Structure formats: structure tokens, C-alpha cells
């Protein structure tokens, strides 16, 4: 049996175990995809009809790869398999059974933009404030309800949902959910969440249909089981109830999608629903060196909620993990870019052998700029290039138009952003008027009442006066002061701040990162011209696309969030921004469950590396336009120190003899190296007192003695207030010197 060749003993057992429930706990790099595909080949080889096998994945790419592999082993019979994502497979079932849930078989599937546009129309029809009832927020709430199988009827009849919505000043949300669903039905359309919701409804209300598919799918296999949500798990449980030949494959240590509704409890508690469950652990890692594997083990061991396993490898010990300490986030970008350059020279690595992984998309800027400066090609995965993101282009368009009122494209982008009652018809009239009078749009705006009247003319005058104020601001203030005021006065910052969805928070963070970049520009003594005009010139050089539109060059360094990196692997991985309040995220440190999810995310990041792993953090980073001191992430302390290289990265340059390399690196790091050498100190390990309990810092005063979990004892020398409450404290520590800490995050015990 060729499909058993090359499999280790646990892999073979997983392939050959066909009857009854099976859970395969597949450690990182342990060959789970191979087990799944070979198991399906084994079933077909032993007479199971391919039509009776259902395999569910989380991406179309994974489904296609699985089908191709199986087809190589069993031939065309693989085409009869039901393989696909949850949404694609259950959409197919709903096509057959649509009439039973009130649809016809040719129903449409709305994407997120379709759903938001529909909600936007409904909100307007209901005369609701679209600043409070933002379509993205309303859709997020409806999506959560559907993923928990809460219908609109149940939603509006549940007083707790109403009270929750009322507390957020959205008491009409239940009504919007009702109208939204009625409109979807009227349009013969389902959104993505409906595909799971309606499948559950179908199986619950039509037992004959459930019975048909229970007997059709005699063998069910689920990949990435740790990522399933409640709605998905309930479908799986119902479908497998008759034959119970269900095989789930996953790794609880890689469950990182709780924010999308994934429930780690599905894999941790799977045995409760299947008492006869067989559990097989795939613990041999084929991907990474031993040092990387053991370092990852030492981190994930700190989690309490997990299925015990010990991942190991026969691979070489490999390089120790390198730790880069930078004085700033900008320098962190340069150090990482230079390290990539070094590896390319020393080991002959290609650009595509490298990945830079970060916690948030906003972090990409420093690395993009550093890579561009030394002509290393890169690509952004899971997001646009920083300066191509909509919110960044929007704000930069304001800057451009304030600098140059002849910039018509910038005008078109910002004229109704945020909305000020100037629609496409008005813009079209402006363009025509400018064309007919052989002048610029701005000249028309100087006296809009020659063409327009009423509210339209007033709105255009207000916009004109706003831009004029920005023009004066740019002439009188430096780039950062002007940019910050434009972001505020334009309304962009306020609009993004009020959007509390995951996407909204990300966009707000990106704008703050742009302002951080401008602050760094004005703080840089090498920039003699600190105007916003000068900054725009610099940005335009950074964002020039110097490659053909149809470029097929895949040899590029990969930049992505850790979430986007799951399932991938690279020879050399850089995990960057390892600082408290960045990674782990401050939003994920309030409960043990959240913190353990962050630790799993760090585990995923580590295990993407095959040959080399580099971790980095900055001692200072710009947040909201202010330079803040940073603490190394607690996760760095959780790695067994014997797997970390103890070397000063700033001294390594002197060890190279390659003249071009030395000159290149020296030219970019000589200024910051002196600063780094003088500021970086070895921080001794500190063990907090046995009775350590963080104190309430509302009563913190200058002169008080305090204890910090990492820095030990110190004396408060200065306090910065915000809203009549202590916000920051400067503390002179006995061992590490002076540090300024954010009191909302720092854990201090008042002695």
C-alpha cells in the first residue's frame, strides 16, 4: 500500500483507523495534511464510495491541494469526493434544499460590501443616525448572533440583548436585524453567516433532510478543527450522529481565531460528545530545527488549557534563536532588513526564504521603508502595502490637496470624506464648470455660488475654508503638528475612532502609525526641512511602484500578521515587536483565556521557522504621536534561555570582512549604533515578592517606594496626570535605572 510508505507509526495508525470517532492532535509541522489525504485514499482503496466521504477545510486552497493529492493516489474517483470549505459545501447542500428554508435554488450570496450597503439603505430608511448605527458595527452584531444560532425572532424577544444594545445607544439593532433578514429573503439572498445558520435550521426543522445527509456522508473528516465555531460544530455533530465515523484533525496549541468566533472548547471537550473516541498524537516535527521546536515547547507549556503533548524532531539542533534589541521601532526595521541582507550574502538565501511576522498590520511601515532603502523586494500578505491602505491614502490626500490645490485626484478622494453632503452629481458639475471655464476646480470653489446654491454651495464653501485653514497650518507648523490637526479637523480621526469593530480599530491604528512616522520625520535631526510638503516628497519616493503591473516575480520577503501566517513556513522567520502592550496585545491580558490565546499566537509564530528564528523588540516606540519606553514582552521570558543566542547584535558588524556589506550596513546604522550601545544594558532577572499584589495607582504620589514585577524596587520621581488621574509615572529603579511607565498597564505594588 503506497499510501502508507514514508509515514511514521502514529501517522499510519491515523490513516488505518477508519471506524468510529477519531481525533488526531497534530503538532506543528507534523504532516497532518498528508495524514488526511492518505486516510481518504485508504478509505477509497478499501471500497468506500467517494460520494460517501465529506472532507471540510477552512480555505479553498487547502481543499484544492487535498483533492489534487488524492487524485494522484486514486485517480478520477477523487473528483466524486465532497471536499471544500464549510461555506462552500453547505451552500451546495442549500442549493438542493433551498425551498425548505424559504429560498429558491438560484439564491445570491452577499459579500461583506453587499451586506453593508443593504444595511446602509435600511438605516437611512429608518431615519437612524448612521454615526451611531454604523453598518459595520450593526453587521458585526448580527454576525455574532448568527454564529451563535440566534435568529432575529429570538434576538428581539430576548430582553438581555435589548438591554445590551440600549447600553451602547443602539436600541433599534434588533429591528434592523429583522428588516435585514426580511430584505435578504425578499432578494433571495444569503450572507456568509446565513450559509451556516440556514444549514443548521434545515437540519433542525427537516429531519428527513438530515437523515438523508447522515446516511450519505458515512465518513466525515475535518481539518483545522480547533478553528470551528459553535454553528459549524453543531452541523458536524448532527451529520455524524448515525455512523459516528468522524475524524477531526487539529492542534489546540494553534487555536488563534477566537475573535472570529472559533471555540477552542470544541477540540478540548470533543471527547464528551464521543465517549468512544480514539486519540492519536502526531508529535514528530518535520519542519524545524530542534532548537526552534524546543523553544516553542517551552513557551506553550505555560498554558493551562491544553491537550498534553510533547513535540520533538530528528532534525539538526540548528542555530540558537537570535534576539535583536533596538532603540526604536524605526531602528528595529533597519536591524531586521540588515539581518536579511547578511543572510543573503552569507548563506545564499533568496528573498522568499524570509518572513517578517507582526501582531498588527500597522507595524509594517518601518520594515517596508527599511527594505526599500536597501533595495530588497517584499510583498504584503493579508493586507495592502501600508501607504496603499484606504485610510492612509485618504489622509495623505488631504495633505496633498492642502499643499497643492491643483491636485484634482486628491480633491475627488476627499470632497465627501467624511460625508459633508457633496455627492457625485455635485462633483460632476464642478468638473464640467472647471472645464468649460478653462480653470481649476479650486477656482470654482473660490466662488461656488456662481454655479451652485443653497446647502450645496454652503457645503462647498465650508470645504474651501477648511482647506485654506490647512494651507496656512502647513506654512506655519512642522509636519507632525500640521498632520495631527488635519487628521482631527478633517473628521477622519473621529470617524475611525468611533468604529469599534476589529476592522475599525485596525484602521485607526494605521492612521496613528502614519502620524508616528511623521513625528519621527520631524524629530530626525538630519531632516532640515520639517514641513509637511517635505514629508510628502519623501513618501512619494517610498510609494513609487518600480515594477511592471503584471510582474510575476515571487522572490520577495513576506510581511504579514501572525494570524495570516498560520499554515505557512519559511527558512528564516523574524517575529517583531515583542513588547508588552503590543504582543501580548493590551486587549488580550484581562483574562487567562485571552492571554493563553496570545501565547498560542506566539507559538504559531515560532513554529513557522524552519532553519532560523529571530525575535526583536524596541526600547522606544511611537504611540499616538508620543515616544514611549517599552518593556520586553513577557513571552520572551517564557522561552528557555538555553535556546537563545547571547550576543550583542550591535557588535556583529565588525566581524564581517565583506567590504560592500560592511559599508552598506555601517552607512545605515552608524548613527543609531552609538545610541544603542550607550542605552542598552543587561537587565538582571528579578523575582517579585511572594506577597506581590498590584496596587491601585490612583493614589500614587511622588516620593513613594514601589515594586515592579520585572524591574524590582524603585522610587517615583515624576507623575503625569490625565483626567485628574495619574497616567504615567517616572520611576528610578535600583537595578535598571529610570523608566517611564503607563500606569494603566504597569503592575506596581506600593511599598
Residues assigned a catalytic role:
32-33, 223-224, 254, 608
Q: Which of 5, 615, 687, 11 is nearest to 286 (CA)?
A: 11
d(CA 646, CA 634): 18
What's the alpha-carbon Rg for the chain, to the nearest Å? 29
d(CA 708, CA 379): 41
How many CA within 13 A on the CB side of residue 457?
9
CA angle 479, 480, 483 (to 5 degrees): 80
Contact 48, 218 (CB under 8 A): yes
Place of cell 500578505: 381
d(CA 201, CA 235): 10
Contact 600, 584 (CB under 8 A): no
Q: Is 352 exposed, middle or buried (0-12, 13-18, 19+ CB in 10 A)?
A: middle
Q: Is 702 exposed, middle or buried (0-12, 13-18, 19+ CB in 10 A)?
A: exposed
Quickly count: other Cβ atoms within 10 Å of residue 338's Cβ: 22
Quickly count: other Cβ atoms within 10 Å of residue 600's Cβ: 24
Using DSSP, state whether 638 is helix, strand or coil. coil
d(CA 681, CA 685): 13
Contact 30, 10 (CB under 8 A): no
Q: Find the length of the chain.
A: 751
Complete DSSP assignment for 44-69: HHTT--GGGEEEEESSHHHHHHHHHH
Give Cβ neighbours of residue 685 (< 8 Å, ≥ 6 apart): none
CA-CA-CA-CA dihedral for 58, 62, 63, 69, to nearest 10: -150
Contact 731, 708 (CB under 8 A): yes
Contact 516, 340 (CB under 8 A): no
Q: Is 594 exposed, middle or buried (0-12, 13-18, 19+ CB in 10 A)?
A: middle
Sign of CA dihedral 340, 341, 346, 349: positive
Q: Is 311 exposed, middle or buried (0-12, 13-18, 19+ CB in 10 A)?
A: buried
Grid cell digits, residue 465 = 475654508
Burial 149-175 (b: 16+ CB within 10 A, else e): bbebeebeeeeebbeebeeeebebbbb
Amino acid at each position: 500500500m503506497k499510501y502508507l510508505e514514508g509515514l511514521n507509526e502514529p501517522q499510519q495508525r491515523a490513516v488505518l483507523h477508519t471506524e468510529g470517532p477519531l481525533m488526531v492532535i497534530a503538532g506543528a509541522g507534523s504532516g497532518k495534511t498528508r495524514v488526511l489525504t492518505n486516510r481518504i485514499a485508504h478509505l477509497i482503496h478499501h471500497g468506500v464510495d467517494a460520494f460517501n466521504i465529506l472532507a471540510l477545510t477552512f480555505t479553498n486552497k487547502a481543499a484544492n491541494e487535498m483533492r489534487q493529492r488524492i487524485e494522484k493516489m486514486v485517480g478520477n474517483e477523487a473528483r466524486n469526493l465532497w471536499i471544500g470549505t464549510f461555506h462552500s459545501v453547505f451552500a451546495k447542500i442549500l442549493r438542493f434544499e433551498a425551498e425548505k428554508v424559504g429560498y429558491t435554488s438560484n439564491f445570491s450570496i452577499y459579500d461583506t460590501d453587499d451586506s453593508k450597503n443593504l444595511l446602509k439603505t435600511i438605516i437611512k430608511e429608518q431615519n437612524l443616525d448612521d454615526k451611531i448605527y454604523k453598518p459595520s458595527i450593526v453587521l458585526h452584531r448580527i454576525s455574532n448572533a448568527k454564529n451563535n444560532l440566534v435568529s432575529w425572532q429570538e434576538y428581539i424577544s430576548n430582553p438581555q440583548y435589548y438591554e445590551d444594545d440600549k447600553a451602547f445607544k443602539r436600541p433599534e439593532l434588533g429591528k434592523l436585524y429583522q428588516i435585514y433578514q426580511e430584505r435578504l429573503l425578499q432578494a433571495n439572498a444569503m450572507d456568509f453567516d446565513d450559509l451556516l445558520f440556514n444549514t443548521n435550521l434545515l437540519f433542525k426543522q427537516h429531519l428527513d433532510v438530515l437523515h438523508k445527509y447522515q446516511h450519505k456522508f458515512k465518513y466525515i473528516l475535518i481539518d483545522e478543527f480547533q478553528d470551528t465555531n459553535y454553528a459549524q460544530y453543531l452541523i458536524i455533530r448532527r451529520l455524524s450522529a448515525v455512523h459516528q465515523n468522524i475524524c477531526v484533525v487539529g492542534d489546540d496549541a494553534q487555536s488563534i481565531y477566537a475573535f472570529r468566533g472559533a471555540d477552542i472548547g470544541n477540540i478540548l471537550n470533543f471527547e464528551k460528545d464521543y465517549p468512544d473516541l480514539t486519540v492519536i498524537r502526531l508529535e514528530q516535527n518535520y519542519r524545524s530545527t530542534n532548537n526552534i521546536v524546543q523553544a516553542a515547547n517551552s513557551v506553550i507549556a505555560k498554558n493551562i488549557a491544553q491537550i498534553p503533548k510533547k513535540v520533538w524532531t530528528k532534525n539538526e539542533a540548528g542555530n540558537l534563536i537570535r534576539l535583536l534589541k533596538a532603540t526604536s521601532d524605526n531602528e528595529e526595521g533597519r536591524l531586521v532588513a540588515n539581518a536579511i541582507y547578511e543572510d543573503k550574502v552569507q548563506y545564499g538565501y533568496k528573498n522568499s526564504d524570509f518572513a517578517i511576522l507582526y501582531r498588527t498590520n500597522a507595524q509594517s511601515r518601518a520594515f517596508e521603508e527599511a527594505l526599500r532603502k536597501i533595495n530588497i523586494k517584499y510583498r504584503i500578505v493579508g493586507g495592502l502595502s501600508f501607504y496603499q491602505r484606504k485610510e492612509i491614502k485618504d489622509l495623505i490626500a488631504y495633505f496633498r490637496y492642502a499643499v497643492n490645490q491643483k491636485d484634482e485626484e486628491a480633491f475627488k478622494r476627499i470632497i465627501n470624506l467624511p460625508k459633508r453632503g457633496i455627492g457625485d452629481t455635485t462633483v460632476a458639475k464642478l468638473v464640467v464648470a472647471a472645464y468649460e471655464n478653462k480653470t481649476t476646480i479650486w477656482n470654482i470653489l473660490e466662488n461656488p455660488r456662481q454655479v451652485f446654491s443653497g446647502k450645496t454651495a454652503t457645503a462647498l464653501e465650508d470645504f474651501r475654508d477648511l482647506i485654506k485653514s490647512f494651507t496656512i497650518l502647513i506654512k506655519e507648523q512642522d509636519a507632525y503638528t500640521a498632520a495631527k490637526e488635519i487628521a482631527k479637523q478633517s473628521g477622519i480621526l473621529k470617524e475611525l475612532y468611533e468604529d469599534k469593530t476589529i476592522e475599525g480599530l485596525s484602521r485607526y491604528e494605521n492612521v496613528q502609525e502614519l502620524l508616528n512616522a511623521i513625528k519621527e520625520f520631524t524629530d530626525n535631526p538630519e531632516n532640515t526641512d520639517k514641513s509637511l510638503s517635505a514629508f510628502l516628497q519623501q513618501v512619494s519616493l517610498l510609494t513609487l511602484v518600480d515594477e511592471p503591473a503584471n510582474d510575476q516575480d515571487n522572490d520577495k520577503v513576506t510581511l504579514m500578521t501572525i494570524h495570516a501566517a498560520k499554515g505557512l513556513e519559511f527558512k528564516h522567520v523574524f517575529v517583531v515587536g515583542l513588547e508588552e502592550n503590543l504582543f501580548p496585545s493590551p486587549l488580550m491580558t484581562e483574562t487567562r483565556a485571552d492571554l493563553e490565546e496570545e501565547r498560542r499566537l506566539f507559538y504559531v509564530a515560532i513554529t513557522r521557522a524552519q532553519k532560523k528564528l529571530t525575535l526583536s523588540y524596541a526600547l522606544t516606540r511611537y504611540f499616538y504621536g508620543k515616544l514611549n519606553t517599552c518593556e520586553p514582552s513577557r513571552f520572551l521570558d517564557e522561552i528557555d534561555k538555553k535556546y537563545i543566542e547571547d550576543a550583542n547584535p550591535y557588535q556583529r558588524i565588525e566581524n564581517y570582512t565583506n567590504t560592500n556589506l560592511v559599508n552598506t550596513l555601517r552607512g545605515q546604522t552608524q548613527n543609531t549604533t552609538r545610541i544603542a550601545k550607550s542605552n542598552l544594558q543587561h537587565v538582571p532577572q528579578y523575582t517579585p515578592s511572594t506577597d506581590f499584589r498590584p496596587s491601585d495607582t490612583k493614589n500614587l504620589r511622588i516620593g513613594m517606594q514601589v515594586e515592579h514585577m520585572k524591574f524590582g524596587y524603585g522610587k517615583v520621581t515624576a507623575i503625569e496626570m490625565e483626567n485628574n488621574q495619574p497616567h504615567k509615572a517616572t520611576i528610578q529603579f535600583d537595578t535598571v535605572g529610570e523608566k517611564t511607565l503607563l500606569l494603566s498597564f504597569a503592575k506596581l505594588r506600593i511599598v
